[in-house]
Structure 1
Amino acid sequence: MNNNINIFYKNHSNIYKVLLFIATTFLIVFLFPKSGRFKYNFEKGKPWQTENLYAPFNFAIKKNKSEIDKEKELLKSQSIAYFNRNEKVKSSVFNAFEKSFSNVFSDSIPNYNILKEKSSQILDEFYEFGILSENIKLKPEKTVIILENNVEKETANFKNLFNQSEVKSTVENELKEVFTPKEINSIIALFFNVIKPNLTYNKTLTENVLNEALQSISVNRGMIEKETLIISKGEIVNDNKFQILNSLVNEYESKDWTKSNYYWIVFAYTLLVALALLMLLLFIRKYRIDVFNNNTKVTFIFFNIFVVVLLTTLVVSYKSEYVYIVPIAILPLVLKAFFDARLGLFAHVITVLLLGSIVPNSYEYMFLQIIAGIVTILTVSELYKRANLFISVGQITLIYIIAYFAFFVIHEASIENIHTQTFVLFILCGLATLFVQPLIYVYEKLFGLVSDVSLLELSDTNSKLLKELSNKAPGTFHHSLNVANLAEASANEINANAMLVRVGALYHDIGKMKNPTYFTENQSSGINSHDELSPKESAQIIINHVINGIEIAKKNNLPDRVIDFIRTHHGTSQVYYFYMKEKANNEGVNIEDFSYPGPKPFSKETAILMMCDSVEAASKSLKEPTSAKIDNFVENIINKQKDEGQFLNADITFKEIEAIKKVLKRKLANIYHLRIEYPE
């Protein structure tokens, strides 16, 4: 039982990675569509590249959206409007007219009978179909059906129906050639008193009938029988063939699959996703072993990949045309900010390959996103500078637009019907990519990581910890500033992370705050605190500044990447002065009592700090420095560290070490340059 526990404890990190790998694989597979996927790729206007294609089963040819829209517009233009007519209104209006006419006109006037007959004819004309109760705007040729008690009575055109506003103009036109203006005005006034609308627009029935007609539109325009030749090899995929092939794809992917088919599809997707994630893990293990050994960082990478797949799946499920609004470029941006460009690009490519299984036009999508990822890695640098991010996002958006334009022209052979709304999606995608700044801040808090933005904040010498260092150990603070300048220049020379190494240099000696007077740079009074201690005790105080620095850093929540500089800046070297002093009195001295606990530097940046720290500290002992003295001095110190194997764990080359030597020699020569003494 104890053996099993020990084995589990020793391998708990690898066990965690296996569980994380399995969990991420199944979560991504869960998001994928579980239908079959058509095995051929084709593009409109391009030749069919594979063998002759025969229909594998009977299927209907689907109409495209434009065909269905045309049918809908035709139905809407040919639809019928329904009106309810009150049959009692007409008789009551005519009765009122008979009574009112006798009261308004005297039967003694010459045209009494003609006027009455003509007025009755006009009234008959108004009520032949009816008068509308509201002002309805329909096309004059629109067919209308008039209902009485929900029974169809008459069919007419809308122009045959009258609005109340038309009464005056109609009466004037009918009577102006026969009767006087006074008589016409009297008739108009009479009509306005007796006429009542009898037609009401039945909007509900009209819309219901139209909706039924729209729903009855067939989405199919024909059938393809099984074993029918669909397209031959080399044949151009024209509009008709493209629609038939799309119909086959839709039918194939919406086909009802048996449980056995379903499980095979899930199994196949699991293999593909697992293979992609395994390649990512192997890449990290081979090229970024420090990241591989840190479970938090591996979790962070897998988490980001899953979030990108989740967002893309949700957008595709809602509306696949919006797939380009998902800011995929955030993934390489984030990974570059926390790790490096190579890891960011590799993870981005793996993610895009996974997304190829769920997005439409997968080749076009993958090409666009991989190109965008490459541009992101090449253009985005120094994220803490806001202008750089805006410029890079602009370049990424431009690349999206150019690549999409090229694909569209290849497909359509013209730019007449180019989808400008897709360009708007790219612009929105670019704006969403700017969200990377607050996202990096959130990730720093959630996962305890550090980015260049945080490093910029930590490099502020007015920060609480550095101000405390300058107050308690001013000599150490000044030494740290000098080391930071040397280290930054060296890092720039070999393309290392200059911001990281500068911050590491500023904080590498904060442990000296605990016993500042035991370090020569802080001894301003001329009294040496070591005079009262044995060499072994003195060495222990010197060595403990590393441990004290780690404790202070953790107490002040410094990131692990900065603490690594405190831990490694002396490697496993010895406090040589006190070792030799003890050895003079005791031949049996144990050198381990005078050695720093390590570890040795394990990155370019920590190796740079070790070199710069040793050179800057020892340079204080130079008397009457010359160029030759400085050159020999730098060579001796760094060669000694190299001979002791201090750089064996760091991924730094001999060529880079030589380049750093040159930088240090040049910088020290500038610092110790002797001025010409002018006569007084």
Structure 2
Amino acid sequence: MKKIQQYLIQIKKLLDYTFFRLLVFVVLGVVLFTSMYGNVKPEKLDISLLTVADKTIRSPATVEDKISTEKKRQEALEQVQDVYTLKKEYSKNQVDLITSIFDSASEVNDDIEDETKKQDVLDEDPINVMEPTVEEEVTMLKGKLTDRVIKDLSERVFTALVQASNDELSIAKDLTVTAINNVMNKRISADDVENAKKSLEEELKFTTLNGDLKNAAIELGRYAVIQNEFYDPEATEELRKQAAESVEPVKILQGQIIIEEGKLIRQEEFRQLELVGLLDNKQSYKPFIGLMILISIILTSVYFYFYQLKDHPEKRQTDLLLFGIVFILTFFILKIISMLQIFNYSGIGYLFPAAMGGMLIKILIDEKLAILSSIIFSIFGSILFNEGVSGTLNFSVGIYILFSALAGVLFLSGQNQRSKILQAGSFTAAVNLFTIWALMFLPNGQFSGLEYGYYILTAIFSGIGSAVLTMGLLPLLETSFGILSTMKLIELSNPNHPLLRKILMEAPGTYHHSVMVANLADAACEAIGANGLLARVGCYYHDIGKTKRPNFFIENQMHQENPHDRLPPDKSANIIISHVKDGSAILKKYNMPKEIIHIAEQHHGTTLLKFFYHKALQGGENVNEEDYRYPGPKAQTKESAIVGIADSVEAAVRSLNQPTPETIESLVKKIVADRLQDGQLNECDLTLKELETVSHSFCETLKGIFHSRIEYPEMTKKVVQG
């Protein structure tokens, strides 16, 4: 074990250099990449067209089938009908045209009538009035029409119109316009124009118009009926575009069965196998690049986590090395279990003791790092347990590992006793069981009773196995790295510890004093954010050296003569001072943690034994002040400094006859000021503000201990004579 510790010390020294820290992460990345290389390596199949598949083949990734997508898109385009637009304004235009023709005929009649009236006025003899001939009237009518209308209509139409009276023209116009409206309000394509004209002709054929005017109306109606539905290229193209865009891409989904075992591999299946890359002989580097990026992101996040820590460099290096060992060990177990997939057992990944790594990191390092590690293990687990489908992630196992690891980490929060580890394992097993059930029920799968029993056993094995492995590895890691974990501190605070029993039996006054000092130091450390538990346990052992000569210390002199009354001050000082050295030796003999030993060595610093020093001065001797000072060293940490101040404060307040809040506060401030002036706090990182908080905490705790009590009157004893 000592050799291992020596190797670890040498490695930690190398980690002082940034190059070696980066090298650790590079090596870790290479190990991870090598371990997961086979899980992301694309699978290549040696099969041929029109052969029988010897196994069921699934797609390793989701890929778009562009050929099928284009085929589906063409089918959608073929189903799009051409868009024809109805020109409603054409109906109005044609009605206006026919109306203008009838109106022109009426105007000719009106003009002739007006001209006749003028002739009657000028020549009273009607015989001399010359009426225009039909040809002249037709000419007059044509003069009011366009050349195109004149050209398109026959002469009999014009003749019939000029021979009709205005009343007849009005009736003919209304009938013709109505018929045109009825026909033109419907869609009339190029092929339907003739049918539409016949429909109009049938409608006018049974009117009460005279023969010539009816024929004229029919010809005018047929002339007015034209095509009003036309092909719209823009609307058609827009509709085709929408149809093409509405077609969803055809995809071969990850895990989708392409060809089942025993089926003939036809052209379509062969094309799909080639599309997903299972027939491509060229090596694809994309999965490896993706794996490298993923590992780089994870390791970079871990590196920056340690980089931003404000801990002492030695502690940061210890934590980094410890994290690396736990991480590699957990990943190694993960990899070994993933290799059992060759036996085709369903849910083999649920056997992994997922909570082990998280609990170890939580206990030994930090809860935040434990949660981060849980997430990392779940990601790697989803890659390693991909059930033979290359390039895929097993999200079920990933979720299971995440929930299992977080359950162990969160259950241990604030309860880091070793006895709680097994409870955490039981709690994790329960969470594992509920997680597995959730993952089984979500896809509405059908499982047999045997499968349910198997999953229950895997959940229990994972949870309890995590606790057992944690309890087994924890002492080894603590001993190898010299780590003083919270659990170790709680164990050391057990009153049944041999050294605490030694203090209680051999120096009961010192034991009581240590407990009182522990209460003061614990509360003060918690008030400023220091390690209160470390300070408390350090107080329990800080005066262990007094057990060598317990009667020479006043708290153990129960109605006994003080032996210092018979000794010269220098010898008394040597005895008092030696309890620090004796205590350090005893603690080292029992292999106590170095943090506890440091508190025992530093709690007095280099303070002066004022009582014996002044006693020596009063004796008229040549006194060297250094002979009456503790050897030190001075307090190096906040906890050591606070324990030292609490030790002096408790002893001083206990010596008061009737301590009041005012005297306690004054005494505490005086002791703190003396420590500052004597330079005892120069080597620790306590600030003046923190000292003020510590002083206030001491006063509050002491006021609670030495509070005022009610004086009860003595009861008169009555002697009963018999």
User: What TM-score does the superposition give when structure 1 sets the normalisation length?
Assistant: 0.58
Please name the residue that 1:344 is paired with. Answer: 370
Please name the residue that 1:564 is paired with. Answer: 598
Please name the residue that 2:694 is paired with. Answer: 657
Give 1:556's aligned amino acid.
Y
Please name the residue that 1:300 is paired with. Answer: 322
Please name the residue that 1:322 is paired with. Answer: 348
1:491–1:501 contact (8 Å) kept in structure 2: yes
Q: Which of 14, 29, 45 is the aligned partner of 2:16? A: 14
2:350–2:462 contact (8 Å) kept in structure 1: yes
Whether 2:256 is the aligned partner of 1:243: answer yes
Q: Which of 479, 503, 508 is the aligned partner of 1:469? A: 503
The two structures, once aligned, show a CA RMSD in angstroms of 5.3
* Alignment partners' CA distance in 1, 2:11 and 2:379: 35
Q: Which of 421, 430, 434 is the aligned partner of 2:463? A: 430
Q: Which of 285, 306, 323 is the aligned partner of 1:281? A: 306
The Cα shift of 1:373 comes to: 4.0
Please name the residue that 2:644 is paired with. Answer: 610
Q: Which of 54, 66, 70 is the aligned partner of 1:229? A: 66
* Alignment partners' CA distance in 2, 1:674 and 1:17: 64
Q: Deviations over 1:166-188 (max 9, x none)?
A: xxxxxxxxxxxxxxxxxxxxxxx
* Alignment partners' CA distance in 1, 2:632 and 2:582: 13
* Alignment partners' CA distance in 1, 2:692 and 2:359: 30
Give 2:685's aligned amino acid.
N
Please name the residue that 1:33 is paired with. Answer: 37
The Cα shift of 1:339 comes to: 3.9
Q: Deviations over 1:218-249 (max 9, x none)?
A: 4349999x984289899699997741599979
* Alignment partners' CA distance in 2, 1:553 and 1:300: 25
Q: Which of 646, 656, 667 is the aligned partner of 1:633? A: 667
Q: Which secondary structure does the structure 1 equivalent of 2:562 belong to?
A: coil
* Alignment partners' CA distance in 1, 2:32 and 2:59: 38
Q: Which secondary structure does the structure 2 equivalent of 1:598 belong to?
A: coil
Give 1:32's aligned amino acid.
M
Please name the residue that 1:598 is paired with. Answer: 633
1:29–1:269 contact (8 Å) kept in structure 2: no
Q: Which secondary structure does the structure 2 equivalent of 1:33 belong to?
A: helix
Give 1:678's aligned amino acid.
E
* Alignment partners' CA distance in 1, 2:274 and 2:428: 33
The Cα shift of 1:523 comes to: 4.6
2:484–2:595 contact (8 Å) kept in structure 1: yes
Give 2:357's aligned amino acid.
L
Deviates more, 1:357-366 or 1:620-629: 357-366
The Cα shift of 1:21 comes to: 4.9
Q: Deviations over 1:640-680 (max 9, x none)?
A: 5578647953699569636733552244225x746434364
* Alignment partners' CA distance in 2, 1:299 and 1:9: 8
Q: Deviations over 1:548-575 (max 9, x none)?
A: 3222211111123432332343355544
Q: Which secondary structure does the structure 1 equivalent of 2:592 belong to?
A: coil
* Alignment partners' CA distance in 1, 2:510 and 2:436: 57
The Cα shift of 1:305 comes to: 0.8
* Alignment partners' CA distance in 1, 2:305 and 2:53: 52
The Cα shift of 1:35 comes to: 6.2
1:518–1:529 contact (8 Å) kept in structure 2: yes
Give 2:697's aligned amino acid.
I
Q: Which of 540, 561, 567 is the aligned partner of 1:526? A: 561
Give 1:334's aligned amino acid.
L
Unaligned runs of 5+ in 1: 1-7, 39-55, 62-214
5 Å-filtered alignment, 1:435-514, equals 435=468, 436-470=470-504, 472-487=506-521, 500-514=534-548
Q: Deviations over 1:51-73 (max 9, x none)?
A: xxxxx999989xxxxxxxxxxxx
* Alignment partners' CA distance in 1, 2:612 and 2:281: 82
Whether 2:315 is the aligned partner of 1:291: answer yes
The Cα shift of 1:299 comes to: 3.1
Unaligned runs of 5+ in 2: 1-9, 70-244, 260-271, 387-392, 717-722
For residues 515 and 220 of structure 1, do their structure 2 counterparts lie closer, same or farther at Cα, with a shift above 3 Å needed?
Answer: closer
Q: Which secondary structure does the structure 2 equivalent of 1:327 belong to?
A: coil
Please name the residue that 1:676 is paired with. Answer: 712
2:382–2:394 contact (8 Å) kept in structure 1: yes
Give 1:433's aligned amino acid.
S
The Cα shift of 1:396 comes to: 3.3
Q: Deviations over 1:426-456 (max 9, x none)?
A: 3321121231334334444444444455445
Give 2:303's aligned amino acid.
L
* Alignment partners' CA distance in 2, 1:654 and 1:545: 27
1:511–1:552 contact (8 Å) kept in structure 2: yes
Please name the residue that 1:358 is paired with. Answer: 384
Whether 2:334 is the aligned partner of 1:312: answer yes
Q: Which secondary structure does the structure 1 equivalent of 2:37 belong to?
A: coil
* Alignment partners' CA distance in 1, 2:657 and 2:495: 30
Give 2:632's aligned amino acid.
P
The Cα shift of 1:477 comes to: 3.0
Aligned residue pairs total 495
The Cα shift of 1:349 comes to: 4.1
1:33–1:358 contact (8 Å) kept in structure 2: no
* Alignment partners' CA distance in 2, 1:227 and 1:238: 4
The Cα shift of 1:303 comes to: 1.1
User: What TM-score does the superposition give when structure 2 sets the normalisation length?
Assistant: 0.55
Deviates more, 1:374-383 or 1:243-252: 243-252
* Alignment partners' CA distance in 2, 1:495 and 1:270: 35
For residues 507 and 255 of structure 1, do their structure 2 counterparts lie closer, same or farther at Cα, with a shift above 3 Å needed?
Answer: farther
Tell which structure's C-alpha radius of gyration is larger.
Answer: 2
* Alignment partners' CA distance in 1, 2:279 and 2:574: 74
Give 1:600's aligned amino acid.
A
Q: Deviations over 1:19-70 (max 9, x none)?
A: 65555444444433256568xxxxxxxxxxxxxxxxx999989xxxxxxxxx
* Alignment partners' CA distance in 2, 1:456 and 1:622: 33
2:550–2:556 contact (8 Å) kept in structure 1: yes
The Cα shift of 1:621 comes to: 1.4
